[in-house]
Amino acid sequence: MEYLLLIIRTLIILLVIAAFARPAIKGGFATKVGAHAKTSVVILMDNSYSMGYETKDGPVFELAKKRAKRILDQLKEGDDASLVLFASQPMPSTPQPTFDFKNLISSLDEEAMLSAEKTDVGEALKMAYEILKNSNNMNQEIYLVTDMEKSGWSSLRPDFFSSEDKKEKLYLVDVSPAEKQNLCIEEVNFGNQLIEKGKPFQITARIANFSSQPMKNLLVGLYLDGKRVSQTDIDVEKDGRATVKFMPAVEEAGIHTGFFELTDDDLLIDNRRFFAFRIPEKIGVLLVGENQRDTHHLNLALNPLDRSNANKEVTRINKNSLSGIDFNKYQTIIFSNLSLLTDVQLTKLERFAQRGGGVFFILGDGIDPEFYSKQIAQRFFNLNLKEPLVSTKNPGGFFSFGKIDLNHPIFQVYRNVEKEKLPLIKFSSIFELPESSDMKTIIRFNLGKPALMERSFGGGKVLLLAAPVDESQGDLVVHPFFVPLINRSVEYLASDLSRLDEDILVSSKVTKELPADLAGKEIELFDPQMGKIALQPSFQTDKLILRIDDTHLPGIYDIRATTSSSTRGEVVDRFAVNIDPKDSDPQKIEMSGIEKKLEGLSFFYVDPQDDIEKSILQSRYGKELWKTFLWVAFCLLALEMFLARSKKKDMVREEKT
C-alpha cells in the first residue's frame, strides 16, 4: 500500500508540473509553426451577393466581418496582414501587406460592401498566393471567409497551384447558416417574336426554388415602364422550377424597360430580373426596282391609306437613281426584280448588312441570271450555283406555297391558324434554289424547294423570295396575305431580335452603337442609382461605338446625350443588367469536393459554430493537454486520499487488537 501511495503522489506532482508546461498534441499545421515566429496573413473576404443572405443573427456578410476581425485580433507585433474582398474578381484593400491592423478593421467596418457579383474562389486564392510569395515570414496563412457555396468553386482546379504554394496554410472559415432557403428569377424570355406597339406580346420568366419545401401561391409581378401591369400566383416544387407567362402590350414606340419581381425572402437581390426592348419609332425603307412597275405593289403594301398608325417611311427609286443613295439612312432595303448592282454598290450593301441593316431580294424575270448566281447567291446566301439563275415555269399548272415555318417571327401571327386555312397562293414561275447549312428556309414551295429563305449576315439579316411579285406571274400581290408578309418582313429585318435575348450580367463589358449624328454631344451613362459616368465614344465611319465597363449594379442603365444647355440630356439607349443566377443556389460544396479541388494542399476547416480563436491556436500549436493533466491529477489526488484513509483505519484496528 505504501508503494502504491508513493507512486500516486509522484504522478500527481509530475502531472501538475506538466500542466504548467502547457503541453500539446501536434496536429493540423502545428508541426510547421514556431510559437514565436512572425506570421503573414491574407484574409479573403467573400463579398458576393449570396453573402447578403439574412439570418436571425443578421446578414451573413456582417457575421463574416466579425470572424475576420477576430482573426486580425490574433496577430502580434511583427506580423503583417492583407485584406482582400472578392466576388468574381479579388480586390485588395491595401496595395501591400500592412502592420496597421486597426486600419484593416476600419476598412471592414467602413469600406467593405456587398457586391452584386457571383463568387470565384479560384481567382481569390490565386491572388492570396501571389501576395504571400513576397513574404519573408516563416508562417504564412490564408483565411478564406466564405459561405462555401458550391457554384463559387467551379473554376478551381488542382493545377491552379504550383509546388511553391503548398507551404502556405489555408483556413476555410465557413460562415454559412445551418440551412438556407431561397427563390430566384433565373431567366426572362421574349421568345422568337416581333413586338409591335398596341399588340400583346408574350414574356415569360423562369422561377427556381432552392428550398427543401415546395412553395405554394408564390406571388410574381410584372412591371413595365415603372408600373405594375400584371401579377399572378404560381406553385414551385422543392428544388424545382416553374415558368410564369404574361401577355402585356405597349402603346408607344421607343425604348421600354421593366422587371419581374417575387415576394421578399431571405436573399432580396435575386427576386428581380430586369429587361429592356425597343420598338422602332420609324423604319426607313428603300424600295429599288429596275423601274417603277417593279416596286408598285410593294409601295402600296407599305403605305396604307390610313397613315395614322404607320411606322414606315418609304423611299422608292429605280436603278438609275441608285448610285447617289446613302444606304445607311435606311433600316431595310428591298430589291425587286433589279437586274444587277455595280461592284461599288455591292460593297456598300455588304457593309450595310454587316452593320445591322436588313436586305430583301425579290427575284423576277428581269434579273441578270449570271450576276445573281455568282454575286447575290454566293456572297449573301453562301449558295454555290453552277448554272445561271433562271426561272422555272409550270406549263398547264402552277406552283404554290407549301410548308410555312409558323414559329418564325414573320409568321407567328398565324401560329394558331389551322393548316387548312392557310392561304393557297399560285405562281406560274419560280426560281429553284438549293439550300446551305447556314441558311434558314422560312417558306417552301409545294415541291419542297425554298420559297423564302433567310441568312444572318454580320449584324444584319438578308431575305430572298424566289418568286416574282408580279400579277402576271402569280396571285401573291392581289392576295390578302401579301400585305402582312411584306410589312412583317420589313419589321423583322429592321428589328434587333438578338437584343431580346440579350442577357448582360453584372460587371460584364458592354458595347453599344449610336447614330453618327450624336457626335459632338456629351455621352453619359446613368446607372440604376443615377450615378453618372462620362463615356468617350469612338467614331467608325457612320456610327459611334461605346465601350462600357461600369456595370457593377443590377438594373436599368440609361445612355444620355447632353449639350451645354441641358443637364440630364436625351435618353438615346437603355439596357438591362442582371445578376448571374448561379450564386442563388445555396448548395454547399461537400468536404470531398474541397479535398479534390485542393489536392496536395493542407487546409483546416473552421465550422460556423467553432470558436475562431481556439481553432486557430489549435491548428497552429496543436491541442493543449494541461486541462487533461490537471483532471487526471485531481482524480489521482482523490484516489490518494481514499487509499490514505483506508490505510489509517487499518492501522487503528491493528492497535486496538
Ranges of residues in the chain whose predicted pLDDT is under 50 = 30-35
Q: What is the pLDDT of residue 162?
A: 65
Helices (H), 362-477: 369-371, 377-381
Look at strands 555-562 and 90-92 and give their pairing: unpaired
Q: What is the pLDDT of residue 486?
A: 95
Residue 585 CB contacts under 8 Å (≥ 6 apart), including other chains = 149, 150, 151, 182, 208, 210
Q: Which of 74, 78, 96 is nearest to 143 (CA)?
A: 74
Q: Letter for the amino acid at 278?
A: R
Q: What is the pLDDT of residue 655?
A: 64
**Cell triple for 320:** 438609275
Q: What is the pLDDT of residue 565?
A: 58
Classify residue 375 by its DSSP letter.
I
Strand partners, 236: 215
Give CA–CA dist 541/526, Å, rounded: 26
Q: What is the pLDDT of residue 564?
A: 62
Q: Letter for the amino acid at 231?
A: Q
Report all structural domains of the chain as residue ranges with CATH numbers, in order of start: 24-176+587-624 (3.40.50.410), 182-280 (2.60.40.10), 283-494 (3.40.50.880), 504-578 (2.60.40.10)
Q: What is the pLDDT of residue 654?
A: 64
Q: What is the pLDDT of residue 599?
A: 84
**Cell triple for 418:** 389551322
**Cell triple for 54:** 439574412
Classify residue 243 by its DSSP letter.
E
- What is the dihedral sign for C-alpha 193, 199, 202, 203? positive
> Exposed e or buried b for every residue in 556-592, given b needs 16+ CB within 10 A?
bbbbbbbeeeeeebeebbbbbbbbbbbbbbbeebeee
